[in-house]
A and B are shown apart, each in its own frame.
Chain A
Amino acid sequence: AQKITQTQPGMFVQEKEAVTLDCTYDTSDPSYGLFWYKQPSSGEMIFLIYQGSYDQQNATEGRYSLNFQKARKSANLVISASQLGDSAMYFCAMRVVPPWAETSGSRLTFGEGTQLTVNP
């Protein structure tokens, strides 16, 4: 079974500073995809960044980067130059396509989330 663990229920950061949100995962499948989503207080889920298990380089999208350490099974999200609008819940997620799911397809599993607060 796949599992995503986010050990930081809440994080605080000062505006303009960088912050790292932790994510560890567990799967026996060699092929998997890792995602980060943002959920503002309004409730919608916003896709931020993706990292594939075979990607050689860490993914980056603007101020977001993913610190992917495959041997440690971690996929931490780094937000540089935090802004007040970054205050939100952040979810790490993993997608696998196990062989037995060839007809039913892949599932997307989420962690418990980290509530980030950016202070002015």
Chain B
Amino acid sequence: DAGITQSPRYKITETGRQVTLMCHQTWSHSYMFWYRQDLGHGLRLIYYSAAADITDKGEVPDGYVVSRSKTENFPLTLESATRSQTSVYFCASSDYGTLNTEAFFGQGTRLTVV
């Protein structure tokens, strides 16, 4: 299916475990983003990428690692999950980095760290 998909949709993990959230887009968009959504904070940017092998930190990158070896994939890894990382995570992509380019979002991954 065309579009941007995230997996898994729901995940429960234990404190200290490593967990990877997957994001795949079929449009060959250059730009990809990871956000976390928390009540009272809106969407906060974790990491973003302008192209394969080019990534940059957002507002809240601590505790997260990203990679982008292929244009279509942008996995987000929590190296050692903490309860404060319980959140809904959204991946997004956009064709260009120009100002008027909208971003398209995945369905979100609800992560619970116990």
A113 surroundings in chain B (CB, below 8 A): 42-43
Q: Mark B88-108, 1 if CB is under 8 A from A, else 0.
A: 101010100111111111011
User: For the side of the interface on A, what is the size category?
Assistant: 20 to 34
| Interface positions of A from 61 to 114, Cβ below 8 Å from B | 91, 93, 95-97, 101, 103-113
Contact A96 B99, CB 8 Å, known A45-B105, A110-B35: yes
Contact A108 B103, CB 8 Å, known A43-B88, A45-B90: yes
Interface residues of B, dominant DSSP: strand
User: For the side of the interface on B, what is the size category?
Assistant: 20 to 34
- Beta-carbon contact of B42 and A108 below 8 Å: no
- Beta-carbon contact of A110 and B44 below 8 Å: yes
Of the residues A33, A95, A104, A112, contact of B50 by C-beta under 8 Å:
A104
Q: What are 10 A-B contacts defined by CB distance under 8 Å?
A: A33-B101, A43-B107, A47-B103, A53-B99, A91-B42, A91-B43, A103-B54, A107-B45, A108-B33, A110-B45
Give chain B's interface residues, CB within 8 Å of chain A.
30-31, 33, 35, 40-45, 48-51, 54-56, 58-59, 88, 90, 92, 94, 97-105, 107-108
Give chain A's interface residues, CB within 8 Å of chain B.
4, 6, 9, 31-33, 35, 43-45, 47, 50, 52-53, 91, 93, 95-97, 101, 103-113
